Amino acid sequence: DERLSKHRFECSTLHGDMSQNKREKVMNGYRDASVRVLVATDVAARGLDVDGVTIVINYDLPDNPEDYVHRIGRTGRMGRSGTAWSFVGREDLLQLDRIRSTWSLTIYQVEAPELPESVKRDPIRARMDWSESSDPFGMVRISISAGSSIIRSTLQLSDWIIENAKVKELAIGEIQISDDNTFVDIHSESAQRVLEIIERREFEGQRLEANLAIR
């Protein structure tokens, strides 16, 4: 809420540590529209009954797919239309897939728009929990947008990662090279750095894209 207030969005907060009196005061302000934006934890996802909520924004995806439905169900009530947006990074792709399959949902993906140069950036450091995407041996699979015409051998790619990302050889697992793309298993402790290095540096004169791969 501090960041929203900084940018002149009037908002209130709702979380589990609030007293019942304070919670009711916040909800009364939201119901009578004196406050237009409510920042809430999942404590508000269940049982929050407010007419006229037009949009729900998930700052992150819930761990439990059931909570996703309770969150977005706060809008589009009583026959009205509503919209739900979720901020999703590559580390959320597995959870997004679980939510889709659990509820047979069609969730459209769009790229986030670039901020105009005139807008002052207020970055928030991404926090990725790679352990949630790893196999029992702690390995995470990364997809690279280059095939055998660029990446000619597993040794070539492995040596490049070791040299550029400064990781140990043991941090690199199986590498699969096909005609169109390449999959490489990286230990979760090194996955973030390897991903960033692949996207930041050229490989054989080519700029590559890398993403978390769903096994």
pLDDT digits (tens, 9 = 90+) for 152-173: 999 999 999 999 999 999 999 9
210-212/37-40 β-pairing: unpaired
pTM of the full structure: 0.54
Question: Quick one: which H or E segment has residue 39?
Answer: strand 37-40
Give the other-Cβ count within 10 Å of 23's Cβ. 15
- Measured CA to CA, the distance from residue 60 to residue 87 in angstroms comes to 6
Q: Where are the beta strands (DSSP E) in 48-195?
A: 55-58, 83-86, 139-144, 172-177, 182-187
pLDDT at 215: 64
Q: How far is CA 188 from the centre of its chain?
A: 17
- Measured CA to CA, the distance from residue 49 to residue 184 in angstroms comes to 47
Question: DSSP assignment of 120-159, as one string?
Answer: PP--------GGGG--TTSEEEEEES--TTT---HHHHHH
User: Residues 198-206: what's their mean pLDDT?
Assistant: 89
What are the chain's domains?
A: 2-103 (3.40.50.300), 130-212 (3.30.70.330)
pLDDT, tens digit, 9 for 90 and up, residues 61-94: 888 888 898 889 888 887 888 999 999 887 788 8
